[in-house]
Amino acid sequence: MRRPWVVGVSGASGTPYAAAVINGLLDAGAAVDLVVSRAARLTILDETGSAFRDAHWRDDLGTWLGRDLAAADLVHWPAGDLAAGPSSGSYPVRGMAVVPASTAACAGIAIGLSKDLLQRAAEVNLKERRPVVVVPRETPVTRSHLEHLIALHDAGAVVLPASPGFYGAGASATARQLVDFVAGKVLDALGVPHSLFRRWAGELGAGRDGRESADDA
């Protein structure tokens, strides 16, 4: 039986995080069900210069991810389709990552608003006690943002802020390395193997010196 990971892309800044997570899942041979919120179309356009259109999603996703998707096990569900597979707990999925997660998405999921398929799918995965990783991207935050994150934590989600560490590649880390650090932590939380960052091995400066490649880690 096909059991994909659901990836929900909401309208926070940080579309490279979403691209890196989707690429990491596909690289691991996982199936992916994709939900892109209406607001995320704006951030994708803003940050990549490319449109994301429901009618041309495979072409647009291929452009965004920079890869040929011909062999990828991918399903796209329009965010307005509340009859889509992931809106039901009986639809078989492994769990879900919301990356990046807007404050609006965090609030909606935390209170069970289900205003679109992204929020509904996240709520469904929480109620089914499947792994859910939420990657909030906002700073600074209000008390209500923090309360919604606590509610998500208490509901069983892993709250994994887009907060890259520099120990993997040192202070001169590239933006790509910092994005991959966050994406790798998301895949760790889902239990999906990857080599997106160098793991801490108990040696100060190893990442900075480039003494060990991420592939070896």
Ligand X SMILES: Cc1cc2nc3c(=O)[nH]c(=O)nc-3n(C[C@H](O)[C@H](O)[C@H](O)COP(=O)(O)O)c2cc1C
Q: 159 and 152 in contact (C-beta within 8 Å)? A: yes
138 binds ligand X (CB under 6 A): yes
Q: Which position among 15, 23, 43, 87 is part of the footprint of ligand X (CB under 6 A)?
A: 43
Closest CA to 200 of 187, 185, 183: 185
Q: Which position among 26, 96, 104, 122 is part of the footprint of ligand X (CB under 6 A)?
A: 104
- CA-derived radius of gyration, the chain: 17
Q: Which position among 7, 30, 40, 93 is part of the footprint of ligand X (CB under 6 A)?
A: 40
Q: Which position among 120, 137, 148, 194 is part of the footprint of ligand X (CB under 6 A)?
A: 137
103 binds ligand X (CB under 6 A): yes
Q: Which position among 15, 23, 87, 102 is part of the footprint of ligand X (CB under 6 A)?
A: 102
Indicate left, alpha or beta for 128 from its phi (over 0: left) and psi (-120 to 50: alpha): alpha
15 binds ligand X (CB under 6 A): no
111 binds ligand X (CB under 6 A): no
Instruction: Determine the Cα–Cα distance for residues 75 and 135; give it in Å rounded to an integer.
Output: 22
Which residues pair with residue 132 across a beta bridge? 96
Q: Under 8 Å CB-to-CB from 136, ≥6 apart: which residues?
A: 12, 100, 101, 103, 106, 145, 149, 159, 161, 162
Instruction: Report the nearest approach of ligand X to the CB of residue 138 (Å).
Output: 4
The smaller minimum CB distance to ligand X, of residues 93 and 105, is found at 105
Cα angle vertex 173, ends 169, 176, to 5°? 105
Q: Which region, judged by CB under 6 A, interacts with ligand X, from 39-47, 58-66, 82-90, 203-211?
A: 39-47
Hey, CA dihedral for 102, 107, 110, 116, is it positive or negative? negative
Q: Which region, judged by CB under 6 A, interacts with ligand X, from 66-74, 101-109, 121-129, 200-208?
A: 101-109
Whether the bond between 78 and the residue before it is cis, its omega within 30 degrees of 0, is: no
11 binds ligand X (CB under 6 A): yes
> Interface with ligand X by CB under 6 A: which residues?
10-13, 37, 39-40, 42-43, 46, 102-105, 137-138
